[in-house]
Amino acid sequence: MSYRKKTVLLVVFLSCVFSLSAQFRIHLEKGSPLAKLSAAELAIDNLYVDSVDENKLVEDAIRGMLDKLDPHSAYTTPSETKELNEPLNGDFDGIGVQFNMMNDTLVVIQPVVNGPSEKVGIIAGDRIVNVNDTAIAGVKMPREQIMKRLRGPKGTKVNLTIVRRGAPAKLHFMVIRDRIPLKTVDASYLIRPGIGYIRLESFGIHSPQEISQSIDSLQHEGMKDLILDLQENGGGYLQSAVEIAQQFLPDHALIVYTKGRRSPREEFHSNGKGKMLKGKVIVLIDEFSASAAEIVTGALQDQDRAIVVGRRSFGKGLVQRPVPFPDGSMIRLTVAHYYTPSGRCIQKPYKKGDLKDYEMDLDHRYKHGEFTNRDSIHFDPSQKYYTLRKHRLVYGGGGIMPDYFVPLDTLQYTAFHRKLLVGNSIYTQTLSYIDNYRKELKAKYPSFSSFRKNFMVPQALIDSIVAEGARQKVKPADDKELQKTIPTLSIQLKALIARDLWGMNEYFEIINEKNHTVQKALQLLAGKK
């Protein structure tokens, strides 16, 4: 490059820099990292040989910085932020249907009770083929695009064209969108006389109210003891975890505390106003239980209020503070650690910037045998802690170790069964069966109790699943493997049919009878070990 051109570029660059605020120039002169970063972005935007997307440039820079930190500090775009927050915010605007896709067509599984679709007469089994003037059936439209068309601001109208079995022509409905609640309690019922069961899917903004209502209802039915199922619960809001833990703990009991480099210790205590201060409590966890689920579990274990059953939890004990931007994007920046009442740090070890190794942790734990053998878990002797009331030994070092270990049953599903699950044969054929026989099933089994007692999975449904698997080149090794698959498959099918005819509560009422962790909890409550 000629001396003249270099001089011109230097002048352009300097003019860009010195056109900025005086404060920026002061930072630059002092060697401020922020000014250096801003100058670099400014130089690329003004001098780089090709055109650049300035927004993407900044987003990549933010991600690059966060990638060098812990595994949970992250940047999300406006759309990603909205998608991330929606399940925890407790509701969204839409038409109010549960649906599934069958043969590239949206089939209504259930309209939300008292929701906008139910109010205009949409029923289970209806096929939505058009949204306003856009065809969504038979066009291979992505699921997220379909949901985008069905959802919209509360009070807005959407015209739906529906095909209904038995109707001579297409039906047309005008639905006024409304707020649709997102429930986080998957199931709540008396699993045995005097024993309640509540399964919480996540810790959303309305979860404390849902748990409170569930406890009220179960106590009204005679509940004395409770199984709180937090298996596969990935967490959510800290405040929701605190409020739920308060349901079980006496006044002034420490629930959790946080502490970070720039965040002083902050403690969260119970208020003594819980609805389940008496009676036995068992908390169920597994390797997917994380964050807020670990806060509740650790609090009840350290305060000797609950027995914990299952497998070691995930080990996510980092506190993220949201840093929102005007465009709707957000940084979730780790500012502190969570600690259980005994002082255990929930967060498992990690290497800064090594996200891949962190993401492979569960795979490493599985290969090491931790999921199937308690003896494969080696505790750090320097991480010994004691519960606060009975002074039982517990260990820190990441995650919550249960009081009673329940191994993962690797033999519960045959290789053939697992392949059918991966190929989606089970779900597609079950949906087709329900679609064909919904009226007959409802007429024959008007109540769930009659269905649970008397329904037997028809051989024709099992045959259709096996045949669909064969079309996907998924076959049992021999007849012995097929016969071994059928009992477990039949229970799963009965639960799936119950879910689509009634709901998630009924699904878990069936599936829990074969869940080893749930059954271990029942044994403990019955005084057996």
Q: H helices within 373-515, ranges in order?
A: 415-423, 425-444, 448-454, 459-471, 479-501, 504-511
Tell me how far apart the alpha carbons of residues 76 and 512 are, in angstroms, rounded to a whole number.
Answer: 37
Structure tokens at 252: 């002034």
Dihedral pair phi/psi, residue 334, rounded to 5°:
-70, 125
470 to 238, 426, 479: CA distances (angstroms)? 47, 12, 14
Dihedral pair phi/psi, residue 390, rounded to 5°:
-105, -5
Please give the angle made by the CA atoms of 472, 475 and 480, to the nearest 5 degrees: 165
Structure tokens at 401: 């170790």
503: nearest Cα among 223, 92, 150, 112:
112
What burial letters (b/e) apply to 100-121, b meaning 16+ CB within 10 Å?
Answer: beeeebbbbbbbbeebbbbeee
CB-based contact 506:498 (threshold 8 Å): yes
104: nearest Cα among 73, 150, 71, 135:
135
Q: Which residue has the tokens 């749930």?
A: 518
Identify each DSSP E strand in 193-311 by its residue range.
195-200, 225-229, 254-259, 266-269, 281-285, 307-310
Residues annotated catalytic, as ranges? 291, 302, 316
What's at 38, amino acid-wise? S
Tell me how far apart the alpha carbons of residues 97 and 106 are, in angstroms, rounded to a whole number.
Answer: 11
Tell me how far apart the alpha carbons of residues 5 and 7 are, in angstroms, rounded to a whole number.
Answer: 5
Dihedral pair phi/psi, residue 487, rounded to 5°:
-60, -45
CB-based contact 280:304 (threshold 8 Å): no
Rounded to 10 deg, the angle between the 459-471 and 425-444 helix axes is 160
